[in-house]
Structure 1
Amino acid sequence: MTVTPADLHARGEEFAQFWSEYHLCTLTTLRRDGSPHVVPVGVTLDLGTAIARVITSGTSAKARQVRAAGEGGARVAVSQVDRGRWSTLEGLAVVRDDPESVADGERRYAQRYRVPRENPRRVVLEIALTRVMGSR
């Protein structure tokens, strides 16, 4: 099952607002042995495409774990919490390292958080959403 833009819009304005506010998030990927690898990240959500993005170094454990899953993508989850408000997005992540995707990811990150520092090894984890949970 894939989450569609209509599914995200149906969650309402509070959901959209929550995913545009400045909140640190967590990304959960799976190690080769199946154990969870959870790290803090910044996440951007494109309501129009039902795609979440995380920028990171191409040498990071999270990028390596997503790459290791192959072309079909890696099952991942991103979550954010603010007191009693929370939301988790699950989906299939792939690594995008082409200059256009990286620039787009950086632009989106700058809009939600701040201009990211220079990193010539930067990639984007692009997550096609399959499930949305939460209080928002």
Structure 2
Amino acid sequence: MAIDLRDPGASYVSFWRERHMCTLTTHRPDGSPHVVPVGVTYDPDGGARGVARVITNKHSRKVANVLAAGSDGARVAVCQVAAGRWATLEGLAVVRTEPDVVADAVARYAERYGRTPTPNPDRVVIEITLTRAMGRA
């Protein structure tokens, strides 16, 4: 079911605030999908259509996949499932390294997941500018 990114609805936004593990799908340089479990935060007000964020280590395969796509960004998807509810966000991902951006993403993660991650000097943010949303929340 398609979701309007400009007005995703209260139940959809609420579902993205509950504590659920998610998956991130990126593409390897050979085009094959790379799917990994991650924590995701969703900001429906972050820009015209919203932003999703994943904090991770700069040496991870997912970061390498995003960087390999070039400066225009990588097409990615994040998804979560809980019983009969599900939600997918798609968009263009870039890697952000600015300390204030990383700190903001860590704070958002801590709010959603109820724990502050251990400090990591190699932490970066995969920031996804959303282009599509689907789900049943």
Are the aligned partners of 2:5 and 2:132 in contact in 1 as well (CA < 8 Å)? Answer: no
Q: d(CA) in 2 for partners of 1:73 and 1:52?
A: 14
- Equivalent position of 2:19 in the other structure: 22
Q: d(CA) in 1 for partners of 2:44 and 2:127?
A: 13
- TM superposition shift of 1:10: 2.3
- Equivalent position of 1:123 in the other structure: 124
Write out aligned runs for 1:108-119 (5 A).
Answer: 108-113=108-113, 114-119=115-120
Q: d(CA) in 1 for partners of 2:105 and 2:93?
A: 14
Q: d(CA) in 1 for partners of 2:103 and 2:124?
A: 9
Task: Choose the corresponding residue for 2:39, options 36, 39, 42.
Answer: 42
Given residue 115 of structure 1, which amino acid in structure 2 is its aligned partner? T
* Alpha-carbon RMSD: 0.9
Q: d(CA) in 2 for partners of 1:82 and 1:9?
A: 24
Instruction: Give the fraction of aligned pairs with identical amino acids, expressed as a percent.
Output: 62
> TM-score, normalized by length of structure 2?
0.92
- TM superposition shift of 1:17: 0.6
> TM-score, normalized by length of structure 1?
0.93
- Equivalent position of 2:98 in the other structure: 98
* Structure 2 residues without counterparts, runs of 5 or longer: none
Q: d(CA) in 1 for partners of 2:7 and 2:92?
A: 21
- TM superposition shift of 1:9: 5.5
Partner of 2:5: helix, strand, or coil? Answer: helix
- TM superposition shift of 1:67: 0.9
Count of aligned pairs = 130
**Deviation >2 Å, runs of 4+:** 7-11
Q: d(CA) in 1 for partners of 2:133 and 2:98?
A: 28
